[in-house]
Amino acid sequence: MANLTFVLPGDHRSGGVRVTVIMANLLLERGHTVRIACPRKPVLSQEGLKRIVRRALNRNHNDGWLHQFRGPIELYGKLDDLSYQPDEVVIAVGTYMVAAVRGMTKPVMKVRFNHGFPARPDAAQEAAWHGRMPTITVSHTLVPRLQAQTEGSVWGVVPNGIDPNEYFLDPSIPRDGIGALYNPHPNKAPENLLAVLQECRKRWPDFPQRVFSTEARPEGLQHVEYTRLPSVDAARELYNRSKVWVLTSRTEGLPGVVLEAMACGCVVVSTDNEGSLEILRDGENGVIIPRDDVPAQVEAIGRVMLDEPLRQKLSDGAQTTIRGFTWQRAADRMEAFLSELPDMDCARL
Q: What is the CATH number of the domain that holds 248?
A: 3.40.50.2000
Radius of gyration of the chain (CA): 21
For residue 318, what are the domain limits?
A: 177-322
Quick check: 209 and 200 in contact, CB under 8 A? Answer: yes
Q: Is residue 316 part of a domain?
A: yes
Chain centroid to CA 276: 11
Tens-place pLDDT, residues 170-226: 999 999 999 999 999 999 999 999 999 999 999 999 999 999 999 999 999 999 999
Whole-structure pTM value: 0.90
Q: How far apart are CA 326 and CA 164, in angstroms?
A: 9
Q: Is residue 168 part of a domain?
A: no
Q: Is residue 170 part of a domain?
A: no
Does one domain contain both 44 and 88? yes
Does one domain contain both 196 and 243? yes
Q: Is residue 166 part of a domain?
A: no
Q: Is residue 333 part of a domain?
A: yes
Tens-place pLDDT, residues 85-112: 988 999 999 888 999 999 999 999 999 9
Q: Is residue 129 part of a domain?
A: yes
Looking only at the bridges linking them, the beta strands covering 33-39 and 3-7 are parallel
Does one domain contain both 333 and 316? no
Q: How far apart are CA 199 and CA 194, in angstroms?
A: 9
Contacts 24+ apart (CB under 8 A), 15-18: 15/115, 15/255, 15/256, 15/257, 16/93, 16/94, 16/115, 17/64, 17/65, 17/66, 18/65, 18/68, 18/256
Tens-place pLDDT, residues 65-89: 999 999 999 999 999 999 999 889 9
Tens-place pLDDT, residues 196-207: 999 999 999 999
Q: Is residue 125 part of a domain?
A: yes
Burial class (CB in 10 A: 0-12, 13-18, 19+), 145: middle
